[in-house]
Structure 1
Amino acid sequence: MVNYWKDKNLAVGTIKNRLADLRFVSKVIGKTNIIKSNADYAIGSRTSVATLNKAIFNADFSKIQDQYLKLSLELQQAFGLRREECLKIIPSLADKGNKLWLKGSWTKGKIERSIPIRTQAQKDILRKAKDFVGKGKSLIPQHKKYIQQRHIYNRETRAVGYKNLHGLRHAYAQTRYKELTGLECPINGGKTSKAFSKEEKQADRIARQIISRNLGHSRVAIIKVYCGK
């Protein structure tokens, strides 16, 4: 089971939490030796600072057959959306002129948020999505449920060579970091925080706060995973 989780690229913390749950169950049923220690499973320490850049820049979706999905992926790339968000989004409702509004029922944790619309490319893909589905319609076809469209998402993205597309959020975060600070982020070869001037430290801090809000994270510290430190 642990090897399966590793093959699925689950985070170290997630695997440790699942093993802790299994140990609790084994203790309740009186079989405490069923689940070995984390070290026995060669599970490393948690880390919150990225050492490998997982960003996916300029992803090619031209071979995606499902037009609904293709638009979802283009929105995901343009705005750093999560998978659920890019599928459930209702483009006509989300478009607030200078910002993209995400309804709570579309997001992780059911917390609404807004993402600035900064570029012409973002405006173009949003307009294309609105024109395609019409007013009040989501990017899930009316005859399908969310789970069905999610399966199509997984199947078609893997078919064109992507194991997962969380790297689109990494790319969005890194692009925003450079826009906001004028600096390349540490994970992409830029200076680390130890080398920052006083002004750069302030710009870095403000940028991370903004990016965490844009991505829908409650903790600023998580941006280390996307941009390094």
Structure 2
Amino acid sequence: MGRALITAYQMKGNGDNTKNICKSALYDFAKHLKENGVNDLRKVEKMHVLKYAHYLNERFENGVISASTAQNYLSKVNVAMEYARLDRSCRVDGVNDAGLPSRTGVAVFYKGVGVEQHQNALKTLTGRLGAQLALQREIGLRFKESCLINAKRVLGHALRTGVIRIEGGTKGGRLREFPVSSPAQIRALKIAAEIQKDHTSMVPQNMSWAQYQSQCYREISGSGVNFHGERHHYANARYETLTGVESPVNSGFSHGLEHLKYMSTTLDISLEHARQLDHDARLQVAQELGHGRVNITNNYLG
């Protein structure tokens, strides 16, 4: 499939097809498709490209590839699929559809899912996937974590200890814990636990993880929201709670000194105090999202 994609890309006729970035991107996409059970380009749907875009985002957040590489790879795939199919039905907007970072890695606008947008999406989704969106929105879970979470166990632990304990589907299998910060988190866990029933995850008992994953991506692709957008909402809401001010993308004050001055003035604190408060909040948000690098919050908060 890699060669077929390159041939399709060459139809664009801009002389770019011999560059290594093009071949690397398209062979990477072909490999991803095969790993997900797709061996024929004619069977590729938009949800497969969306799934690949989320995969690129994971690699960026894990420090494997740069923001610009993630954007470039998806751009090459979009062009190749357009010429292979002779339509744009599989095209995915990296930022709006999949939450990919800007090429600098610093967000310049809010990429979260708004309340009305979230509510409208719930009307089109199954109750199970809707419950998972709530977990992503209120607890900051990754899509995979929202699928593999044992909601009953997490709920019980949260009610006993006041701590949310995430194990299933985490990056590198690493446990993460953080305090319950809102009643909405408990409500989301209760709804998920009711749907989960006696099973150990949110994956239906009659489906494999791979089958359910594909079903979810197909379902979300027509809903007007994306999984990562719910995590963006969580990150920005938590930052505001922790600092008392809006994030750069929500406040309109640019990342860096401009936003720190806004924070200093709004809270009536010194610039140095504002800098420390910003850093501490970003560190907390990064940890709750399951990241070890504080600078990854630039993609969420600006």
The TM-score bracket by the shorter chain reads: 0.7 to 0.9
Would you say the 8 A contact 1:64–1:157 is kept in 2?
no
Residues 56 and 171 in structure 1, CA contact (< 8 A), matched pair in contact too: yes
CA RMSD in angstroms comes to 2.6
Partner of 2:87: none
Residue 109 of structure 1: how far off its partner (Å): 2.0
Tell me the residue number matched to 2:184: 121
Question: Which segment is superposed worse, 128-137 or 115-124?
Answer: 128-137
Of residues 140, 152, 171, the one that matches 2:215 is 152
Indicate if the aligned counterparts of 2:113 and 2:229 stay in contact, CA closer than 8 A: yes
Structure (1/2) with the larger helix percentage: 2
The answer to whether the aligner puts 1:106 opposite 2:169 as a matched pair is yes
- In structure 2, what residue type is equivalent to 1:78? E
Distance 1:46 1:127 in 2: 39
Please say which of residues 215-224 and 133-142 is displaced more in the overlay. Answer: 133-142
Q: Is residue 199–residue 205 contact of structure 2 (8 Å, CA) maintained in 1? A: no
| Corresponding residue for residue 28 of structure 1 | none
TM-superposed deviation, 1:124: 1.2
Alignment of 1:1-229 (within 5 A): 2=22, 11-14=67-70, 46-58=103-115, 59-60=118-119, 61-95=121-155, 96-97=157-158, 98-103=162-167, 105-135=168-198, 137-162=200-225, 164-191=226-253, 192-194=255-257, 195=261, 196=264, 197-228=271-302
**What is the rounded CA distance, in whole Å, between the counterparts of 1:115 and 1:13 in structure 2?**
32
Distance 1:91 1:109 in 2: 20
Deviation at 1:152, TM superposition (A): 1.6
Q: In the superposition, relative to structure 1, how do residues 183 and 15 fare at CA in structure 2: closer, same or farther (>3 Å)?
A: closer
**1:190–1:14 CA distance, 2 compared to 1 (3 A):** closer
Higher relative contact order (CA 8 A, sep 6+): 1
Equivalents in 1 of 2:215, 2:72: separation in Å? 30
- CA deviation profile, 1:46-90 (whole Å, cap 9, x unmatched): 412112321112212432443222211211111111110001111
Q: Is the 8 A contact 2:151 2:189 kept in 1?
A: yes
Contact 1:93–1:136 under 8 Å retained in 2: no
Contact 1:55 1:170 in 2 (8 A): yes
Q: State the 1:198 CA deviation.
A: 1.9
* Partner AA of 2:251 in structure 1: G
Q: Give me the TM-score of the superposition, normalised by structure 1.
A: 0.77
Change (3 A) 1:67 1:85: same
Q: What's the CA shift for 1:13?
A: 2.6
- Which letter does structure 2 place at the counterpart of 1:82? R
State how far apart, in whole Å, the 2-side matches of 1:181 and 1:101 are: 24
**Structure 1 residue ranges without an equivalent (≥5):** 19-44
Q: Using the TM superposition, give the Cα deviation of residue 114 of structure 1 relative to its aligned residue in structure 2, in angstroms.
A: 1.8
Q: How far is 1:116 from its partner? A: 2.8
In structure 1, the residue corresponding to 2:227 is in which secondary structure? coil
| Runs of 5+ unmatched residues, structure 2 | 6-21, 30-48, 57-66, 75-101, 265-270
CA contact (8 A) 1:55 1:171 kept: yes
State the 1:16 CA deviation. Answer: 6.5
Q: Distance in 1 between matches of 2:191 and 2:215?
A: 21
SS state at 1:159 partner: coil
Aligned 8 A contact 1:193 1:201 in 2: no
**1:78 and 1:172 in contact (8 A); partners too:** yes
Q: How many residues align?
A: 199
Alignment TM-score, normalising by the size of structure 2: 0.59
Distance change in 2, residues 1:180/1:57 (3 Å): same
CA distance in structure 2 between the partners assigned to 1:214 and 1:181 by the alignment: 15
Q: Which whole-Å CA distance do the structure 2 matches of 1:132 and 1:210 have between them?
A: 30
